[in-house]
Amino acid sequence: MFSRQRVLWFIFITVSASGCSTYAPSEEDVADVRKVLELRKQAIETENIEAYGKLIIDDYFDGRLNKEQLIAEMQSIFDQYDEIKLTQQRAPVEIKKNTARVIQQVVYTAKGLEKPFIQLREKILVRNYKGQWLMSYGIDMTQN
């Protein structure tokens, strides 16, 4: 049989090895996160507030706005501007466990404006919640 020392050594190695493993996101995870960002762009450019709201996790809070406030702020922008265009710089997607981080340059323009009304570097967190990737932090709609 196995000695007590061997069993303890096996448990120690198993626990140590599992604690040192790193999460390797799949290409599918990265594609899903990029899809969320593309769907956000489509919702903004078509001024579809319902589609926009479906991309945001229910417990969204970024230190300033919760989900309802963020949606209200976007609706205000829809009401204020015509033919909004969102340009998102393609940026790397970093995923750790169930959360993805994307830091990207975004520019919002609208019909009749000479300059963008929003231009910033945003850090968005997208979280996998019950198998669906949803925006969970960092959407900045602060106008210039």
pTM (2 d.p.): 0.80
Average pLDDT score, the chain: 86
Is residue 19 pLDDT above 60, yes or no? no
Contact, 142 vs 122, CB < 8 A? no
- Distance (Å, rounded) from C-alpha 13 to C-alpha 11? 6
Band of residue 53 on the pLDDT scale cut at 50, 70, 90: very high
pLDDT of residue 4: 57
Number of residues that this document lists for the chain: 144
Q: Which of 80, 53, 78, 79 is nearest to 139 (CA)?
A: 53
Average pLDDT of 67-83? 96
Contact, 122 vs 138, CB < 8 A? yes
pLDDT of residue 7: 45
Q: Domains in the chain, start-ordered, CATH in brackets? A: 25-137 (3.10.450.50)
Is residue 90 pLDDT above 80, yes or no? yes
CA-based radius of gyration for the chain: 21
Is residue 24 pLDDT above 90, yes or no? no
Is residue 76 pLDDT above 50, yes or no? yes
Is residue 139 pLDDT above 90, yes or no? no
**Portion of the chain with pLDDT greater than 90, in percent:** 73
